[in-house]
A = this chain, B = another copy of it.
Amino acid sequence: MERTPVWMMRQAGRYLPEYRRVREQAGSFMNLCTNPELACEVTLQPVDRYRLDAAILFSDILTIPDAMGLGLRFLEGEGPKFKHPVRTAEDIHRLGVPDPEDKLRYVPNAVRLIQQNLQGRVPLIGFSGSPWTLATYMVEGGGSKDFRKIKAMIYESPALVHELLGKLADSVAAYLNAQIAAGIDAAMVFDTWGGLLTSAQYLEFSLAYAQRVLHQLNRQVEGRIIPTILFTKGGGLWLESMAHTGYDALGLDWQTSIGQARQRVGDKVALQGNLDPVALYATPSAIRAEVKKILADFGHGTGHVFNLGHGVHPDIDPEHVGAMIEAVHEFSPEFHA
């Protein structure tokens, strides 16, 4: 029976007790990311537990800046920090494009191992942070509330930001191409912080470089076609522009109505989303009702991949996730009849 496919951002993650056990065994978050066996194990966990239609590589968006030598650390309860943030022209000139088969080879290695273990059960999605989102962490030195350092750079030295983003776009493309060569079935670019920009800045500093990534991707490899997905949190205003980049699908956050988004982008792209991750704190019956609303909002036909509007929160009850996934299985066939 035809139905809407479903997966979930951060589906391999802290809300799962089996994930927490492996994470503890790994000792640190980065140990988990850089160990292909453990990364493979946690990637498969949600696929073993739920009726999901895709696996997504377990990794972090900041692997590229780490490979560039910025010294990524995760301090408990503090989020990511870079030992060597990028602040000056000299810092940016010095950056190179990391060879994904050198310092990042743990990622294609994990992809190969996951594909061996998945044995075609479901497709595997690979991913990277967007150039803009990587740049924000690299310049701010970690997470930020207001992104004042990189924005000051945009206002005062835009050419420097372009130099940084150019290097990052080439790095992201090489990184995703290595994942493609290793066997991923689809590639997603996460632009977590594009929504913090003005409209003009978004086009110039975020979307243009997401497109530069796309143009360098090997989207056809030995007869395989690799669909691409672009997700900008807070990017609802810019869907038309995003739909023109050539990405095959757009990820939607929960603010945007998926029905209105579909009207705006037509059949140029597929749409992925967009249940509010906070809805998963509600009761299973309330979750089921929300799933139904989103399916109905998208309406009949193909081109919808059900997902959350952002990553699942770490303290969500795994049974609530199950309620969401089962509701997609139960309610979506009527929209494909």
Residues on A facing B (Cβ under 8 Å): 146-148, 151-152, 155-156, 195-200, 234, 236-237, 254-257, 260, 276-279, 281-283, 286-287, 289-290, 293, 297, 313
Cβ-defined partner of A151 (8 Å) among B152, B156, B260, B278: B278
A155 touches B279 (CB 8 A): yes
B198 touches A276 (CB 8 A): yes
> What is the bound-complex CA distance between A279 and B276, given in angstroms?
31
Residue of B nearest to A276 (CB): B198
6 A-B contacts (beta carbon < 8 Å): A148-B281, A151-B282, A155-B282, A155-B283, A155-B287, A236-B237
Query: Which residues of B have CB within 8 Å of A293?
Result: 200
A151 touches B199 (CB 8 A): no
A250 CB to nearest B CB, Å: 15
A276 CB to nearest B CB, Å: 6
Query: Which residues of B have CB within 8 Å of A197?
Result: 255
Cβ-defined partner of A195 (8 Å) among B255, B287, B290: B255
A256 touches B276 (CB 8 A): no
Query: Which residues of B have CB within 8 Å of A256?
Result: 199, 237
Query: Which residues of B have CB within 8 Å of A283?
Result: 155-156
